[in-house]
């Protein structure tokens, strides 16, 4: 029998399977915090959690045939409340006979997969999918509820700590590595690799084939922010964990990611968490969308600026806008968990 939940039912309120990703006006429940400062759910803000789950793969094991039907309905109803739906397109199905991709508007959120022969149902959430959940009042409570009835196994967990002050950038990671603060307790030195991709540097510490490794990268530069934007100096420290039979990731890590993040590289990370500012999920996606819009408008001005100006002079702004604008196949706009109130509190970022 699947768990009861105050806000989640196993009876669908609306069909969540679509041929195409629909436009959605669904909103996350309102937060009780200052939207201009922090825009995450109450669990994160009230507990002053500074890191965020940025990727999650869980296996739900020990199912019978009927459980698959009820569990899929339960998970999809939960996600649909966050405006995340399953579409008919298939994900990579290695080791899984069937599955569906998950989308919020036209943005990928991950996938669900199942293997009845092995009694496994898998939920995969990428960074955007985790961001939708981090902005919702229920957070990952449904996973905890499912774990009380079935065996929930975390197969991958990425925990991110962000800094835009410049204090904990690439140079910090290099210096800390040279001091041996990323070394294991027995003194073993982890692998170190530095790459540079179009001016955005990335440091990898540890082997990507081990149960844990660290990625430190200049996310602000990677996302194309201008130097005038404070997010230009945004650096992410991302601890990546892979769960195995011999390396079990506790479910508590989802609800208390700070301690798990610090515990991965304690001597280095206890320096970051004590001063690190919490992520502002909504601000990140508003700024990213605005940044993309700025680039598109700059390109349109270069290519069609004179034509647009002539159309305005000849036809007037209203008619010119009607003649020049059109709906696209892909949704252009903010993620569905961004409300009109959020846009007022976090105004448009000028290029």
- Examine residue 143 and state whether it is found in any structural domain, yes or no: no
Q: Are residues 306 and 286 in the same domain?
A: yes
Mean pLDDT over the full length of the chain: 82
- Examine residue 14 and state whether it is found in any structural domain, yes or no: no
pLDDT > 80? residue 208: yes
pLDDT > 60? residue 5: no
- Examine residue 319 and state whether it is found in any structural domain, yes or no: yes
Report how far Cα 66 is from the mean position of its chain's Cα atoms.
31
Q: Are residues 305 and 228 in the same domain?
A: no
Q: How many structural domains does the chain have?
A: 2
Q: Are residues 209 and 305 in the same domain?
A: no
d(CA 162, CA 243): 24
Q: pLDDT tens for residues 29-41? A: 332 333 333 457 8
Closest listed residue to residue 21, CA positions, set 122, 123, 89: 89
Q: Are residues 198 and 273 in the same domain?
A: yes
Show the beta-strand stretches assigned E in 52-132. 52-61, 85-87, 98-104, 107-115, 120-125
Tokens of 232: 């230009």
- Examine residue 54 and state whether it is found in any structural domain, yes or no: no
- Examine residue 203 and state whether it is found in any structural domain, yes or no: yes
Q: Are residues 173 and 266 in the same domain?
A: yes
Q: pLDDT tens for residues 153-183? A: 999 999 999 998 889 999 999 999 999 999 9
- Examine residue 107 and state whether it is found in any structural domain, yes or no: no
Q: Are residues 173 and 263 in the same domain?
A: yes
Q: Are residues 309 and 264 in the same domain?
A: no
- Examine residue 226 and state whether it is found in any structural domain, yes or no: yes
- Per-residue CA distances from 233 to 7, 165, 170, 201 (Å): 39, 7, 11, 12
Per the structure, the complete domain to which residue 237 belongs is given by: 159-242+256-277
Comparison of pLDDT for 292 and 221, the residue scoring more: 221
- Examine residue 248 and state whether it is found in any structural domain, yes or no: no
So what's the pLDDT on residue 130? Answer: 94
pTM: 0.73
């Amino acid at each position: 029998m699947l768990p009861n939940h105050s806000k989640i039912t196993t009876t669908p309120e609306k069909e969540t399977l679509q041929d195409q990703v629909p436009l959605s006006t669904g909103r996350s429940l309102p937060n009780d915090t200052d939207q201009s400062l922090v825009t995450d759910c109450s669990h994160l803000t009230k507990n002053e959690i500074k890191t965020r789950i940025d990727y999650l793969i869980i296996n739900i094991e020990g199912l019978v045939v009927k459980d698959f039907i009820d569990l899929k309905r339960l998970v999809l109803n939960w996600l649909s409340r966050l405006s995340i739906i399953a579409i008919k397109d298939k994900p990579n199905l290695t080791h899984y006979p069937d599955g569906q991709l998950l989308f919020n508007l036209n943005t990928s959120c991950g996938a669900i997969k199942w293997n009845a022969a092995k009694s496994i149902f898998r939920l995969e959430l990428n960074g955007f999918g985790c961001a939708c959940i981090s902005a919702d009042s229920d957070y990952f409570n449904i996973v905890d509820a499912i774990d009380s009835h079935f065996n929930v196994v975390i197969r991958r967990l990425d925990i991110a700590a962000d800094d835009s002050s410049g204090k904990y950038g690439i140079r910090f990671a290099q210096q800390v590595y040279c001091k041996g603060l990323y070394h294991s307790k027995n003194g073993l030195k982890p692998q170190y690799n530095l790459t540079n991709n179009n001016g955005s540097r990335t440091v990898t510490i540890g082997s990507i084939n081990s149960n844990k490794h660290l990625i430190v990268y200049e996310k602000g530069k990677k996302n194309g922010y201008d130097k005038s934007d404070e997010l230009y100096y945004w650096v992410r420290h991302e601890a990546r964990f892979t769960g195995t039979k011999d390396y079990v990731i506790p479910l508590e890590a989802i609800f208390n990611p700070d301690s798990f993040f610090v515990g991965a590289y304690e001597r280095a990370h206890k320096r970051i968490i004590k001063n690190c500012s919490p992520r502002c999920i909504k601000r990140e996606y508003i700024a990213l969308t605005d940044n993309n819009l700025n680039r598109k408008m700059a390109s349109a001005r270069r290519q069609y600026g004179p034509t647009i100006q002539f159309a305005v002079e000849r036809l007037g702004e209203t008619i010119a806008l009607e003649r020049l604008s059109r709906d696209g196949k892909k949704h252009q706009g903010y993620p569905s968990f961004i409300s009109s109130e959020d846009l007022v509190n976090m105004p448009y970022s000028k290029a």
